[in-house]
């Protein structure tokens, strides 16, 4: 069958790069290789948090199948592989004794990428906090920036010289707000004070990690934030005000901290009383200069006024076609964030789309045409953003393969490659082949 074609390498500026992304807990198989317990293991083991109480103990068994997986990435024609390192695999107690098998695994994995001509783009934290640190409050604890800096140093002394790029923390909003205010992700808190502290400590930890890596002489360091287009559900002033609050918490708080050294007033109205004392002092390292910014983008949200309690918004279902996650497909939002971020926060700093993709109830024998059209629309949004002046240098698809989708377990399939979670067989989908057709040739 002839596949619909996607924008190809030839459509983009000459140095533009394609990549695919994964994360450690979602693919490796955390029950193996001496990794320590994480807050995701215990969150998943608690009734009602994760569909069917599934966890990452086996996942895609990438720990043992990584060579096959790297071959798939090479054969796709990708330039970049964005992966993450598990803190608990490297330091099972979060601090102290190193699990040598864990560091050795990443050592081989990185060499495997380099041998295949792939640029290793590492993330230090993609959500699997060691339980020993969670026991002490995790991101709510003011010592986190020190623990995170120590972990960064342990990792980078061994691996830093072979990484193409590093971002300390994937999606500060998810790590803090989604996990400590909404309670949807580990540790499952719903507490405004915990959320405020986690939001600040995530940024402070980011800054400390950047300082450590600069001290080791490392380059090409960045940050990866997630964005959701915030749209008013109707044209009333109250819906617009609710949308502005949502946008400030989700889309502006972290960029404002990183690039402007302050937090937006709309967020401080609700959170200032709960932030750590003297939090301003930390902006000195939070604003440590970066070499690039990564944007993760999937969807939009329609907002109207909530029940009166800050942040006083609620989401309303929107009219557009939805993915298997129930997320509306809204590529205009990607164009908006790429152009708006450059204008408001980052200027000429290189931007990357570090995650974008869709979940679909794929059947391995049927072409994933919905994903093809999602990719097509979002790649075209990238092209338009470049035309409009955004310094976008790469697009990284989420995800290489179907994997553990957090609170949704294994049900939501985001992969370019289908994974049979019984046999663990990998089968490239039509979207993989269509991308490979347009990107394999350099
Ligand atoms: C992002 C996460 C990633 C994956 C996608 C669908 O928020 O970074 O791990 O779950 O969403």
Mutate which of 170, 398, 400, 405 to test ligand 1's pocket (most atoms within 8 Å of Cβ)? 398
92 CA distance to ligand 1 middle (Å): 23
Of the candidates 359, 402, 406, 404, which has an alpha carbon nearest to the alpha carbon of residue 50? 406
Name the pTM for this structure. 0.98
Name the domain count of the chain. 1
Q: How far is the CA of 49 from the centre of ligand 1 (A)?
A: 17
Of 51, 294, 296, 404, the residue with max ligand 1 atoms within 8 A of its CB, to mutate for a pocket test, comes to: 296
| pLDDT value for 1 | 66
CATH code of 263's domain: 3.20.20.80
- In this structure, the residues whose C-beta lies within 6 A of any atom of ligand 1 are 23, 26, 170-171, 174, 226, 296, 355, 398, 405-406, 414
Which residues span the domain enclosing 185?
A: 9-439
Question: Does residue 317 carry a catalytic annotation?
Answer: no
| 442 residues of the chain, pLDDT tens digit each | 677 789 999 999 999 999 999 999 999 999 999 999 999 999 999 999 999 999 999 999 999 999 999 999 999 999 999 999 999 999 999 999 999 999 999 999 999 999 999 999 999 999 999 999 999 999 999 999 999 999 999 999 999 999 999 999 999 999 999 999 999 999 999 999 999 999 999 999 999 999 999 999 999 999 999 999 999 999 999 999 999 999 999 999 999 999 999 999 999 999 999 999 999 999 999 999 999 999 999 999 999 999 999 999 999 999 999 999 999 999 999 999 999 999 999 999 999 999 999 999 999 899 999 999 999 999 999 999 999 999 999 999 999 999 999 999 999 999 999 999 999 999 999 999 999 999 997 6
Contact present, 95 and 138 (Cβ < 8 Å)? no
Cα atoms in the Cβ-side hemisphere of radius 13 Å centred on 187:
20
Q: Flag whether 1 is in a domain.
A: no
Residue 34 inside a domain? The answer is yes
308 CA to centre of ligand 1 in angstroms: 30
CA angle 249, 282, 290 (to 5 degrees): 75
CA of 356 to the centre of ligand 1 (A): 9
Spatial contact of 147 and 63, defined as CB atoms under 8 Å apart: no
Tell me if 4 is assigned to some domain: no
Within a domain: 109: yes
- Classify each residue of 361-383 as buried b or exposed e, where b means 16 or more C-beta atoms within 10 Å of its C-beta: ebeeeebbebbbbbbbebbbbbb
Phi, psi values for residue 363, rounded to 5°: -110, 135
Q: Is residue 216 part of a domain?
A: yes
Spot the catalytic one: 28, 228, 328, 355: 355
Is 182 among the catalytic positions? Answer: no
3 falls within a domain: no
2 in a structural domain: no
């Amino acid at each position: 069958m002839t596949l619909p074609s996607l924008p190809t390498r030839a459509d983009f500026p000459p140095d533009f790069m394609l990549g695919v992304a994964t994360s450690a807990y979602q693919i490796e198989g955390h029950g193996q290789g001496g990794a320590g317990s994480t807050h995701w293991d215990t969150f998943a083991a608690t009734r009602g948090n994760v569909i069917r109480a599934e966890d990452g103990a086996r996942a895609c068994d990438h720990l043992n199948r990584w060579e096959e997986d790297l071959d798939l990435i090479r054969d796709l024609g990708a330039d970049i592989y964005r992966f993450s390192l598990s803190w608990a695999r490297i330091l099972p107690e979060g601090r102290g004794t190193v699990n040598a098998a864990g560091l050795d695994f990443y050592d081989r994995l990185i060499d495997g990428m380099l041998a295949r001509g792939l640029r290793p783009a590492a993330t230090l934290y993609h959500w699997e906090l060691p339980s020993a640190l969670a026991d002490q409050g995790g991101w709510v604890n003011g010592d986190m920036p020190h623990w995170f800096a120590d972990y960064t140093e342990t990792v980078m002394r061994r691996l830093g010289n072979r990484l193409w790029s590093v971002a300390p923390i994937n999606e500060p909003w998810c790590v803090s707000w989604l996990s400590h205010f909404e309670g949807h992700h580990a540790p499952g808190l719903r507490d405004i004070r915990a959320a405020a502290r986690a939001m600040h400590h995530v940024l402070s930890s980011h800054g400390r990690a950047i300082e450590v890596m600069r001290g080791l002489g490392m380059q090409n360091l960045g940050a990866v934030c997630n964005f959701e287009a915030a749209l008013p559900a109707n044209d009333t002033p109250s819906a617009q005000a609710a949308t502005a609050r949502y946008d400030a918490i989700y889309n502006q708080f972290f960029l404002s901290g990183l690039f402007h050294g302050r937090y937006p007033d709309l967020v401080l109205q609700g959170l200032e009383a709960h932030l750590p004392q003297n939090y301003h002092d930390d902006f000195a390292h939070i604003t440590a200069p970066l070499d690039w910014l990564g944007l993760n983008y999937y969807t939009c949200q329609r907002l109207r006024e909530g029940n009166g309690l800050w942040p006083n918004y609620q989401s309303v279902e929107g009219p557009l076609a939805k993915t298997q996650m129930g997320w509306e497909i809204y590529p205009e939002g990607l164009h908006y964030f790429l152009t708006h971020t450059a204008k408001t926060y980052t200027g000429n700093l290189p931007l990357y789309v570090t995650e974008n993709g869709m979940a679909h109830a794929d059947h391995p024998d049927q072409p994933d045409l919905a994903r093809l059209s999602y990719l097509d629309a979002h790649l075209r949004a990238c092209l338009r953003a470049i035309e409009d002046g955004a310094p976008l240098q790469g697009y990284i698809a989420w995800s290489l393969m179907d994997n553990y989708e957090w609170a949704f377990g294994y049900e939501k399939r985001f992969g370019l490659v289908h994974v049979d979670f019984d046999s663990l067989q990998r089968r490239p989908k039509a979207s993989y082949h269509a991308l490979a057709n347009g990107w394999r040739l350099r």
